[in-house]
A and B are shown apart, each in its own frame.
Chain A
Amino acid sequence: NAGVTQTPKFRILKIGQSMTLQCAQDMNHNYMYWYRQDPGMGLKLIYYSVGAGITDKGEVPNGYNVSRSTTEDFPLRLELAAPSQTSVYFCASSYSRGAEAFFGQGTRLTVV
């Protein structure tokens, strides 16, 4: 099993550009999450999904969109990149809300 796979690992975007961060898991997990890591702030929840076709906002959803058309994939879309979106993004999945979360390796995004 590959676990949780995130792509790309690194990306530099110009202000106003768009991109999609990919996240896939092969563990048949129902729950999937997107977090961003800001210095001294731990992990902030952007969006989450409790199953295919169901998504919901987290603490910091502005400027992002998600979709969950399959159990395996949970892409995160940035439509108009802003410098405030410079961060490290982590995708995670878990079988249920009480189960251990497994994390991808992270995507380091810089918006200039």
Chain B
Amino acid sequence: ILNVEQSPQSLHVQEGDSTNFTCSFPSSNFYALHWYRWETAKSPEALFVMTLNGDEKKKGRISATLNTKEGYSYLYIKGSQPEDSATYLCASSLSGNTPLVFGKGTRLSVIA
């Protein structure tokens, strides 16, 4: 089972600040990298799925980049809002019939 690391573990920012998180994963036999948003008392929901080195994806104020050669992905939130408060999970899978393995997440709190 591969090891997916996320940092920081938690983050407190002021409303309007921009922020970013890191996800590290094994670069050997890489297949896909996922980002999920997980609000308290709800289920995780997918933000992005990326497979190609250099991929950049954007959804509103949230964007993500992928570097498969060095094994990392960044998630950026521009102009954080209180409704962005959630845990952001990164997950990766390898080639072959391998499962999706999650990191421990980054808990973001946006203070109004």
Residues of A within 8 A of B (CB): 31, 33, 35, 40-45, 48, 50, 54, 56, 58-59, 90, 92, 94, 97-106
Contact = CB atoms under 8 A, between A and B. Distances in A.
Contact of A105 (B43, B51, B99): B43
Given A45-B1, A59-B1, A97 B100 contact: yes
Given A90-B43, A103-B43, A97 B104 contact: no
B97 A97 contact: yes
A97 B43 contact: no
Given A45-B99, A58-B99, A98-B93, 17 more contacts: A41-B104, A42-B6, A42-B87, A42-B104, A43-B102, A45-B1, A45-B102, A48-B99, A56-B99, A90-B44, A97-B93, A97-B100, A98-B49, A101-B34, A102-B46, A103-B45, A105-B43
A101 B43 contact: no
Chain B interface size band reads 20 to 34
Interface of B: 1, 6, 9, 31-32, 34, 36, 43-46, 49, 51, 87, 89, 91, 93, 97-105
Given A42-B89, A45-B1, A50-B97, A98 B32 contact: yes
Contacts of A90: 43-44
24 contacts: A31-B99, A33-B100, A35-B102, A42-B103, A42-B105, A43-B44, A45-B1, A45-B99, A50-B97, A56-B97, A58-B99, A59-B101, A90-B43, A90-B44, A92-B100, A97-B31, A97-B99, A98-B31, A98-B32, A99-B49, A101-B46, A103-B43, A105-B43, A106-B43
